[in-house]
A and B are shown apart, each in its own frame.
Chain A
Amino acid sequence: MPRKVFFTSWILLFVLTGCWDIKEIEDVGIVTGMGLDFNEETDELTMINQYVVPARIPTQQSSSQHQSDPYQNISQSGKTFFEIIRNNSLESNRPPNYTHLKSILASTALFEKERADQVIDLFIRDHEFRRTTPVYLTRGPVLDILNTEPAKELFPSIQIKSLSENFQKNNQNPTNLSIGDMSQLISEDKSFLIPGITLNEGNIKSSGAGIIEAESSNYVGWIDVEDMEGVRYIHNTVQGGFIYLDEEMVQEGPIILEIKGSKTKFQTKVTGDEPEMTLQIATSTVLAEDWGTGRDVYKAGWKKEIEEASNNVIQGKVERVLKIAQQEYRIDFLDISKWIQIHEPKYWKEHEKEWNEIFPDMNFNVEVTTEITDFGTQNFNTEE
């Protein structure tokens, strides 16, 4: 009998405490996107929370008539982000919940004024923020992008995230950088790229990337969308995409090669105190579109010319990005140091501190081997 009483009271101990955390899902302000900006007038931080308004989500019955947007952007300014979040409750009846946060969009203006490590402090410290939330950068006002009516998605914030999921289709799309990656790169004292977003004639568009410099932890410059391909080869994240070869490069062009796979190998050599690096890029492609219809793909050696042209194109792109990093910005935002550290640990230990001086004068060789494995299902004008 005493055992039963003990057991019952033990159960009650758990049960009677309950309920304090209960929060019905419809009483929670689901935030899918967040904008971070800098208010020049008041010299304060601005945070935009994109709330879901569930009642305005179109149902199948009512999809015909146009409804107002299913989201609400609340923009507030303050000295710290936490303060702004709590001040949201002055305007929103539902307190924000960040477990469904899909993207964080920051402006370059913010990172010019504030250090990146200080900005993301709250997002890696607070348990409600997921470390996998991707971060984006824009050169324009953040609120404009978050107010854009998205195509195919219900929320601009989710549209932003979905764009970067196309990185396998186009090499100009940057790959995702999550807040977790960012905190890792910051603690490793590395410069890095944050994927960029712009407004293009009222549409949200993925475009290039912003450079965050390690030492100042500030925004220093922009990589254009055309140069993103080179970055992707150096980051070894090319999985798909295409290579465009115009008429100047091949006879009877233009030609498009679809990339089936690509691998970048890094080889380092240290002679004396001079590090040297060779990038070996091996790309496997298929002939995707050919405007020179007279080509006879059944003749041996037809692809030699195309492969060489493709080698030159890729090499040019990679070298251009390396040149931007070495000459224009003189910082290593391409994570080259990782390979030095892996391949030459001894050298790295000695010269880690001087890396910023060594990198701009480093020698790079880019060797590209393109292979065309396939020419598709049919070919015109193979004169028989």
Chain B
Amino acid sequence: MDQMLDIGQILREKEKNHHVTMKKLELESHPVHVIYIPAITDTKQVQDAILLPLQEWKHKESPLPHAFSAEPLLQLEKKNDVDRYLLDGFTLLIEQDTVYAIDTAQFAYRSIQEPVSEMTLRGSRDGFIESLEQNVALLRVHLRSTDLKFEEFTIGTRSFTNVSIAYIDRTVNEDLLKDVRDRINAVQEDYIPDGGVMEQLIEKNNYSLFPEIQETERPTKVSSALVEGKVAIFVEGSPSVLLAPTTLNSLFQQADDYNFKWIPASLIRLMRFMAAFFSVMLPSVYISLISYHHGLIPTDLAISIAKTREGVPIPSFMEALIMQLTIETLREAGIRLPKPIGPAVSIVGAIVLGEAAVTAGIVSPLMVIVVSFAAICSFTIADYALSLALRTISFVMLFAAAFLGIYGLILAVFIVSIHLVHLQSFSVPYLEPFTPFYVKRWKDSLIRFKLKKGGGRIE
């Protein structure tokens, strides 16, 4: 890998590439090659800060670095570094056998916008963008602390990706930090397009449905996670920042919970937990009740369910499965469609599939109510990765309920619970603080207790 610098080879290589600009300046004693990629370089800066000083440079006998007083000049020694710095937008200066690099990068980025996938009512509206540097700057806006430390990594074998981890010194656990570093260093991948890919490459439980690492686009979320002692992983080119470790509890927390008064905020959070439970269990409980345990339904309800089911040609399990699949399809279609036609999907879904299917007698109205309520419940789960996990599990539950009724449902709940208890994210139990049982940390779990005044942080 680390070849000795072969200037001739570098020059020949770069000459072939049409997107690389190479200028040869004749100094008194020897030529200086200036190499940069115009697409990612601030050409005005190259002109003003490199080419002009070089042309006007009087003391041509002294070494090159003296030509630039303002810009830091790096001397490169490895072949790999040459390519990397060039691709990072640096301008290379080649003087005889030495290669210098000056930062002249100017990549094309979008401006800072509110993250589309994480909406809040109150609180900051800025979201991360694709620039690592900008993201770090954004985090610095929200978290002004000298203890905020960054560490840089470069990974990828074919395309270099800059990855940076952020943590707060003296707050973060050293073992966690070491674990994160090791996992990032162990990544061997050609190309990392996004934080989501990075997440899968560094997590341990690849067969688990639950996200081991939380992903967010909100700087405030990252800064409060860092204050709690977590580690944030920034990936160049991705607006999603990864937070480790993650617990099930933290996936349910929302910025709004803290920005509003604690009693209503707690009630809303409780409701969110319940909604998540309903979204998983409701269709399957309904199935098991109406196809196995009729005696558990109140008589009046049982009679009216029997009435609505009258004439429905398919068994209730198939009915539920079809409705669930329809809703998943609608949801997927809604995401993929361009924004102007997006609402059309919901109209088609609600009127054509819901209303007409009931009128035609293919599904019972109660099933539509149950399945759509479960779907609405699942919309309250803000974390999309968790929502995907729970939706998958709800299908498993549906099968369990259809095969064995409540008994099967309880078996399935046991299996999921066993898995959750077993699961760890960076050595932190996934169900903390419920199991293991830390009463003190319950203050910010099901209920968010009031903030401590006088500088205390939520423990």
Contact = CB atoms under 8 A, between A and B. Distances in A.
A55 B294 contact: no
Given A25-B290, A30-B303, A18 B309 contact: no
Nearest to A22: B291
B343 interface: no
B456 interface: no
Contact of A97 (B291, B294, B309, B405): B294
B302 A26 contact: no
A52 interface: yes
A30 B292 contact: no
Given A54-B306, A100-B299, A24 B316 contact: yes
Contact of B309 (A22, A24, A59): A24
Contact of A23 (B292, B399, B411): B292
Contacts of B295: 97, 99-100, 128, 130
Contacts of A57: 303-304, 307
Contacts of B312: 26
B25 to A, nearest CB: 64
Nearest to B299: A100
Contacts of A130: 295
Given A14-B404, A18-B403, A99 B303 contact: no
A186 interface: no
Given A21-B405, A55-B307, A102 B291 contact: no
Given A18-B408, A21-B292, A21-B405, A26 B299 contact: no
Nearest to A14: B411
A25 B408 contact: no
A194 to B, nearest CB: 23
Contacts of A52: 303, 306
A333 B302 CA distance: 38
Majority SS at the chain B contact face = helix
Interface centre among B315, B316, B404 (most CB of A within 10 A): B404
Interface in B309-330: 309-312, 315-316
Contacts of A21: 292, 405
Contact of B315 (A24, A32, A59): A24
Contacts of A25: 290-291, 294, 297, 302, 305-306, 309, 316
Interface residues of A, number: 27
Interface string A82-115: 0000000000000001011010000000000000
Nearest to B364: A26
B402 A54 contact: no
A32 B305 CA distance: 15
Given A24-B315, A24-B316, A57-B304, A32 B403 contact: no
A34 B128 CA distance: 69
B402 A19 contact: yes
Nearest to B400: A15
Contacts of B294: 23, 25, 28, 30, 97, 99-100
Contacts of A99: 294-295
Given A14-B411, A18-B408, A32-B299, A26 B291 contact: no
Contacts of B292: 21-23
A28 B306 CA distance: 9
A264 to B, nearest CB: 34
B286 to A, nearest CB: 11
A37 B294 CA distance: 28
B98 to A, nearest CB: 56
B411 A24 contact: no
Interface string A313-344: 00000000000000000000000000000000
A57 to B, nearest CB: 5
A271 to B, nearest CB: 53
A26 B309 contact: yes
A54 B408 CA distance: 29
A66 to B, nearest CB: 18
A337 B306 CA distance: 47
A99 B298 CA distance: 10
B291 A24 contact: yes
Interface in A104-153: 128, 130
A114 B305 CA distance: 39
B306 A26 contact: yes
A26 B291 CA distance: 9
A32 B295 CA distance: 12
A100 B307 CA distance: 15
Nearest to B309: A26
A331 to B, nearest CB: 36
Interface in B389-424: 399-400, 402-405, 408, 411, 415
Contacts of A28: 294, 306
B373 to A, nearest CB: 19
Nearest to A15: B403
A225 to B, nearest CB: 28
Contacts of A19: 402-403
A14 B401 CA distance: 12
Contacts of A128: 295
Contacts of B302: 25, 30, 100
Contacts of B299: 30, 32, 100, 102, 158
Contacts of A97: 294-295
Contacts of B297: 25
Nearest to A4: B207
Contacts of B400: 15
Interface string A40-82: 0000000000001011010100000000000000000000000
Contact of B306 (A22, A30, A158): A30
B214 to A, nearest CB: 28
A11 B403 CA distance: 12
A97 to B, nearest CB: 6
Contacts of A55: 307, 310-311
Contacts of B404: 14-15, 17-18
A19 B288 CA distance: 11
Contacts of A18: 402-404, 408
Contacts of A59: 307
B329 to A, nearest CB: 25
B313 to A, nearest CB: 11
Contacts of B408: 14-15, 18
B317 to A, nearest CB: 8
Nearest to A102: B299
Interface in B260-308: 290-292, 294-295, 297, 299, 302-307
6 contacts: A14-B408, A21-B405, A23-B294, A26-B306, A52-B303, A158-B299
Interface of B: 290-292, 294-295, 297, 299, 302-307, 309-312, 315-316, 399-400, 402-405, 408, 411, 415
Q: Which 5 A-B pairs have the closest CB atoms?
A: A99-B295, A18-B403, A54-B307, A26-B309, A54-B306
Given A54-B303, A158-B299, 16 more contacts: A14-B408, A14-B411, A23-B294, A24-B290, A24-B291, A25-B294, A25-B306, A26-B306, A30-B306, A32-B299, A54-B304, A54-B306, A54-B310, A55-B310, A59-B307, A97-B294
